Amino acid sequence: MKSPLPIAIAALMALAACNSKSAEPEVIDTNPDPMATQLANAGAVELPPAIKADKSMRCKDNSVVYVTFFEGDKQAIVRTAKDGSPTTLTAPNGGEPLVADGGWKLTGSPTNITLEQPGKPSLTCKG
- The helix (run of H) or strand (run of E) holding residue 38 is helix 36-40
Report pLDDT for 47.
Answer: 87
Report the C-alpha gap between 95 and 92 in whole angstroms.
Answer: 9
Report pLDDT for 7.
Answer: 74
Report pLDDT for 21.
Answer: 59
Residues of the chain with pLDDT under 50: none
Report pLDDT for 17.
Answer: 61
Report pLDDT for 66.
Answer: 97
Report pLDDT for 101.
Answer: 95
Nearest to 99 by CA among 79, 83, 115, 85: 115
Asked if residue 58 lies in contact with residue 38, where contact means CB atoms within 8 angstroms, the answer is: no
Report pLDDT for 73.
Answer: 94
